[in-house]
Amino acid sequence: MSTSVRNHGSLGSRVFDVLNIILLVGLALVTVLPLLYVLAASFASESEIASRPFFLWPERVVTGTYEYIFGTGTFVRALLTTIGVTAVGTVVQVMLTFTMAYPLAKRYLPGRALVLNLVIFTIVFSGGMIPTYLVVRDLGLLDSYWSLILPLAINPFYLIIVKSFFQELPQALEEAARIDGCSELGVFWKVVMPLSKPIIATFSLFYAVGIWNDYMSPLLYIDDNRKWTLQVIVRQLTGADAENALSQLDSVMFPVEGMKFAVVVIATLPILFFYPFLQKHFAKGVLIGSVKE
């Protein structure tokens, strides 16, 4: 603790340091303890959840809840649906965003400013929930998996960040490819996209987390319970009207409380698994996003 360049000799300063560490460690604990408890509880028996006040390791590890959940058609279908929609949706969103960002990065392109302004306007003002719902309905997308992807296909903020990134790429490579007879499309596919791998990874993660976590789209557009996503299941099992939803599931004999904990764990784990990558890239994204053109 003595490498700091700052003056920290005084007693007050040392007392502050100690208090500061206690406070921040406390904050970190408040953040993660609920998650660790839910994880532990998901492996505990019903009676342990009911009787023990707080624990980070169950007395007896029970996996029955998970076995039950993964044996439930509703749940497995929702898990597969969510994985599929997230995978396809991410590809669609990334393709659309990057394809549109590239021409917008060309300052000499006539009409570029108009398109950019049209995009930015949608950040400030939108048609809102009902008119958008009606458009999705008129397109026949209600109860279609595409309703979870297409209405959110391009995030205008991400589009502008990717556009700024393209503007900063060295132009020499693109020009060399053009002299070699590459069309603009060829330059994009063969030169620009390979150079953009890190930022493609970043925005794939951005979009994937967005779809995985989305609750509003299925709430609005999906009625058919065979097309539910994981977030809807989580809501159905743990929300205010949980008992109602539970009675609709395939069986009657199951560990109710443990199941709630386990479902939360399953919906959270993929995010935590990707978290190290997320943290690295997202932080960068936030900072790029804060730089004005």
Partner 1 sequence: MATDLAPPPVTASPAPARGKRLSPRTALLRYRWLYLMLVPGLAYFAIFKYLPMRGLTIAFQDFVPFLGYGGSEWVGVKHFEELFTGPDFGRLLGNTLILAVLTVFFAFPAPIVVALLLNELRLNVLKRTIQSLIYIPHFLSWTIVASLTYLLFSVDYGVIANWIHGIVGGAKVDYVAQADWFRPIIVMQTLWKSTGWGTIIYLAALAGVNPVLYEAARIDGAGRWRQFWHVTLPAIRPTIVVMAILTSGHLLDSSFEQIWLMTNSLNRSVADVFDTFVYYIGITQGGYSYATAVGLFKGVAGVLLIFGCNWLAKRLGQRGLF
Q: Interface residues for partner 1 in 203-242 (CB under 8 A)?
A: 209, 212-216, 219-220, 231, 234-235, 237-242
How far apart (Å, rounded) are the C-alpha atoms in residues 48 and 61? 10
Residue among 5, 11, 252, 253 that touches partner 1 (CB under 8 A): 5
| Interface stretch with partner 1, choices 14-22, 61-69, 76-84, 195-203 (CB under 8 A) | 14-22
Residue among 66, 72, 146, 151 that touches partner 1 (CB under 8 A): 151
Looking at the Cβ atoms of 72 and 132, the one nearer to partner 1 is 132
Residue among 80, 87, 113, 271 that touches partner 1 (CB under 8 A): 271
Residue among 18, 54, 168, 224 that touches partner 1 (CB under 8 A): 54
Residue among 39, 49, 85, 222 that touches partner 1 (CB under 8 A): 49
Under the binding rule (CB under 8 A), the answer on residue 194 touching partner 1 is no
Token reading at 105: 């990065």
Least Å distance between CB 96 and partner 1?
Answer: 6
Looking at the Cβ atoms of 80 and 129, the one nearer to partner 1 is 129
Rounded alpha-carbon distances, angstroms, from residue 154 to 67, 103, 159, 162: 38, 15, 7, 11
Looking at the Cβ atoms of 199 and 233, the one nearer to partner 1 is 233
Binding-site string for partner 1 from residue 94 to residue 133, where x marks contact by CB under 8 A and - marks none: --xx-xx-xxx-xxxxxx---x--xx--x-xxxxxxxxxx
Least Å distance between CB 207 and partner 1?
Answer: 13
| Interface stretch with partner 1, choices 50-58, 62-70, 79-87, 244-252 (CB under 8 A) | 50-58
Q: Say which residues have a Cβ less than 8 Å from residue 285's Cβ, sequence separation at least 6.
A: 161, 202, 203, 206
| Interface stretch with partner 1, choices 27-35, 60-68, 78-86, 246-254 (CB under 8 A) | 27-35
Token reading at 226: 């065979």
Under the binding rule (CB under 8 A), the answer on residue 181 touching partner 1 is yes
| Interface stretch with partner 1, choices 60-68, 71-79, 179-187, 193-201 (CB under 8 A) | 179-187
Least Å distance between CB 199 and partner 1?
Answer: 17
Least Å distance between CB 142 and partner 1?
Answer: 11
**Residue 119: closest CA among 85, 88, 158:** 158
Looking at the Cβ atoms of 204 and 238, the one nearer to partner 1 is 238
Residue among 39, 65, 264, 281 that touches partner 1 (CB under 8 A): 264
Instruction: Tell me, letter by letter, the H, E, C secondary structure of the chain.
Output: CCCCCCCCCCHHHHHHHHHHHHHHHHHHHHHHHHHHHHHHHHCCCHHHHHHCCCCCCCCCCCCHHHHHHHCCHHHHHHHHHHHHHHHHHHHHHHHHHHHHHHHHCCCCCCCHHHHHHHHHHHHHCCCCHHHHHHHHHHCCCCCCHHHHCHHHCCCHHHHHHHHHHHHHCCHHHHHHHHHCCCCHHHHHHHHHHHHCHHHHHHHHHHHHHHHHHCCHHHHHHCCCHHHCCHHHHHHHHHCCCHHHHHCCCCCCCCCHHHHHHHHHHHHHHHHHHHHHHHHHHHHHHHHHHCCCC
Q: Interaction with partner 1 in 56-95: which residues (CB under 8 A)?
A: none
